[in-house]
C-alpha cells in the first residue's frame, strides 16, 4: 500500500505504536496515535510523540480514530477490541504493526513464534547468524519493535523476529523467508475465548503466505502444534529430541544431528550447547536448521552455540546470598514456562507465583510443586486464586510486593535453597512488562 499522504491511525502508544507512527511519518503518511491508557503510564512515550510532532489522544478512542485510510494495531491490543471491531465494520483496513513494518523491510526475515522459548530462540538466532558473518537484527517482541528497524535492514541482511499470536491475528501479506513454530501449549486463552484451537490456529498463520521458496521449521514433539498444522506450500524441516527425522534436527544419544534429504550434514555434542535443559536443546535445534538452510559453516555454528549465554529474565542467575540462590525467571508468564523452571533445579525451591492470571490451570503443576517447592509466595491480582489452590498442598502465603517476598525468603530459606521468581502470569497488574518485573526483582536482591 502506498502510504504517502494517507491518514494512518495507530492503536497503542507503547514501543511498537511509537515505532509504527515514526515510520509512517518518515514515509509521508499522517499518523495519529490513540491509546486508552493514562497519561501517567505513558508519560515518556507521549513526550516522544510530541517531539516527533505526531498527533495523539489518550484515555479513550474517540471518533477521530476512524477518520483514516488504514489502522495499525500494536501487539498489546486484543484483536477483538471494540476499536478494531468498529473499524472493521466501517470497512477500514486493519493490520498489525508486524504487517506494517514488514512493508519496509528489504532484508531476510526469520520469524519465530510459539508459546515458550521464543525469546531465547530469537536471541540465539540473531547471535549465531551474526557470529556466522551476516548482519542480523533482533527485534519484535524482544528489545526493539520491528517498525523501529525495518527500513534499516539491507537486502543482504537478516532480521531474527520474535512474533506473538496477537501480531499474527492481523497480518495480510506478511511472509517470512523462514518461519518457526517452537511449540503450542495453552496460553492467552483469555484472549481467545478460552479456545485452545483458536490460539493454535492463530500461531499457524505465520506460514499462511509462504510459497515453495520459503521454509517452515516445526517441533515434532509438540502435540498441539502437530494437531493443528494446516496445508502449506513451504519446504518443512522438523526437529525432535525423541525421534529421528528425515529433514531437520534430531538427538542421537548425546549428538545433535542435522539431516537434509536423509543425509547427515551437521552434528555437535549436546555439551557444545552452553544453555542447558532439554527445552534449550530444542531451541538450539530450530536455530541450527535455520543456519543450515542458509548453508552457514558448521564450525562457526558450533562456536556460536558454545558461547551463547542465554537471555535476561529467563532462568537468569541474579545473586547468591548466604548460600541462597536467587533466580529471575520473570519471562515465565504461563504454566508451561514454570514447569520448565521447576524441572531445572534439584534444590528446594521458594517459588514466587502471581500477577495477571491468563486463565491458568494450576493442577498441571501441582505434582511438581508438591515435589520440589518448600513454599509459595503469592503476589499480584491472582494471589488469592493461587493461595486458595495451593495452601492445603504446600506452605503458601500472600505477599504485598517483591520487597516483602525477598525479605521473607531471606529469613526462611537456607543455604542450598533456591528463591525462584517464575510467576506463571503476566505482569501488567503491578509492572509495565515482564522486563520491568524482573528488573525490580534484581534491584531488590542486588541491594542486599
Q: Which residues belong to the annotated binding site?
A: 114-120
Neighbouring-strand partners of residue 420:
327, 351
233 is written with which cell numbers?
Answer: 506450500
Q: Distances in Å between the alpha carbon of 116 and those of 128, 181, 227, 366?
A: 20, 10, 17, 20
Give the residue ranges of the annotated binding site for ATP.
114-120
Q: Are 402 and 330 a contacting pair, CB within 8 Å?
A: no
User: Which strands make up the sheet holding 55-58, listed edge to edge?
Assistant: 55-58, 30-35, 7-11, 70-73, 93-96
Decide the pairing of beta strands 235-240 and 215-219: parallel
Q: By 3-state DSSP, what share of the chain in percent is helix, strand and coil, each rounded to 5?
A: 35, 25, 40
Closest to 118 in 3D by CA, of 257, 245, 287: 287
Please tell me the distance from the alpha carbon of residue 58 to that of residue 22, in angstroms, as a whole number. Answer: 18
CA 293 from centroid of its chain's CA atoms? 23
Q: Which helix (H) or strand (E) holds 298?
A: helix 298-307
The burial class, CB within 10 Å (0-12 / 13-18 / 19+), for 367 is exposed
Taking residue 448's Cβ as centre, other Cβ atoms within 10 Å add up to 11
Closest to 161 in 3D by CA, of 117, 128, 113, 116: 113
Residues contacting 257, CB < 8 A, separation 6+: 249, 250, 251, 264, 266, 267
Q: Are 329 and 432 a contacting pair, CB within 8 Å?
A: no
Cα angle: 121, vertex 217, 303; to 5 degrees: 45
Amino acid at each position: 500500500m502506498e502510504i504517502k499522504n494517507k491518514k494512518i491511525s495507530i492503536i497503542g502508544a507503547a514501543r511498537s505504536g511509537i515505532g509504527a507512527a515514526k515510520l509512517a511519518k518518515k514515509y509521508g503518511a499522517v499518523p495519529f496515535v490513540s491509546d486508552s491508557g493514562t497519561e501517567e503510564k505513558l508519560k515518556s512515550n507521549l513526550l516522544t510523540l510530541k517531539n516527533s510532532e505526531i498527533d495523539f489522544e489518550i484515555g479513550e478512542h474517540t471518533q477521530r480514530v476512524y477518520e483514516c485510510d488504514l489502522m495499525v494495531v500494536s501487539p498489546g491490543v486484543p484483536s477483538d477490541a471494540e476499536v478494531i471491531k468498529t473499524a472493521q465494520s466501517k470497512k477500514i483496513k486493519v493490520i498489525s504493526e508486524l504487517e506494517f513494518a514488514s512493508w519496509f523491510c528489504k532484508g531476510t526475515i526469520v520469524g519465530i513464534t510459539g508459546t515458550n522459548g521464543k525469546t531465547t530462540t530469537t536471541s540465539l538466532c540473531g547471535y549465531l547468524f551474526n557470529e556466522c558473518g551476516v548482519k542480523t537484527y533482533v527485534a519484535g517482541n524482544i528489545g526493539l519493535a520491528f517498525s523501529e528497524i525495518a527500513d534499516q535492514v539491507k537486502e543482504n541482511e537478516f532480521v531474527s523476529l520474535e512474533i506473538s499470536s496477537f501480531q499474527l491475528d492481523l497480518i495480510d501479506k506478511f511472509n517470512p523467508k523462514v518461519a518457526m513454530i517452537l511449540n503450542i501449549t495453552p496460553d492467552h486463552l483469555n484472549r481467545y475465548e478460552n479456545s485452545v484451537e483458536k490460539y493454535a490456529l492463530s500461531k499457524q498463520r505465520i506460514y499462511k503466505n509462504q510459497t515453495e521458496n520459503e521454509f517452515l521449521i516445526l517441533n515434532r514433539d509438540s502435540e498441539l502444534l502437530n494437531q493443528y498444522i494446516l496445508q502449506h506450500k513451504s519446504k518443512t524441516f522438523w526437529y525432535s529430541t525423541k525421534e529421528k527425522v528425515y529433514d531437520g534436527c534430531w538427538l542421537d544419544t548425546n549428538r545433535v544431528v542435522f539431516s537434509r534429504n536423509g543425509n547427515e550434514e551437521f552434528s555437535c555434542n549436546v555439551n557444545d550447547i552452553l544453555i542447558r535443559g532439554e527445552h534449550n536443546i530444542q531451541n538450539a535445534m530450530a536455530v541450527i536448521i535455520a543456519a543450515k538452510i542458509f548453508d552457514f559453516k558448521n564450525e562457526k555454528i558450533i562456536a556460536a552455540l558454545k558461547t551463547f549465554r542465554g537471555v535476561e529474565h529467563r532462568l537468569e542467575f541474579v545473586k547468591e546470598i548466604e548460600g541462597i540462590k536467587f533466580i529471575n525467571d520473570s519471562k515465565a508468564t504461563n504454566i508451561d514456562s514454570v514447569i520448565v523452571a521447576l524441572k531445572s533445579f534439584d534444590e528446594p525451591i521458594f517459588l514466587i507465583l502471581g500477577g495477571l492470571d491468563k486463565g491458568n490451570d494450576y493442577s498441571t503443576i501441582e505434582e511438581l510443586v508438591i515435589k520440589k517447592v518448600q513454599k509459595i509466595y503469592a503476589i499480584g491480582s491472582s494471589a488469592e486464586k493461587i493461595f486458595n489452590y495451593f495452601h492445603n498442598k504446600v506452605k503458601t502465603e500472600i505477599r504485598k510486593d517483591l520487597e516483602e517476598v525477598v525479605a521473607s525468603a531471606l529469613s526462611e530459606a537456607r543455604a542450598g535453597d533456591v528463591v525462584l521468581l517464575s510467576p506463571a502470569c503476566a505482569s501488567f497488574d503491578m509492572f509495565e512488562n515482564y522486563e520491568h518485573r524482573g528488573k525490580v526483582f534484581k534491584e531488590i536482591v542486588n541491594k542486599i
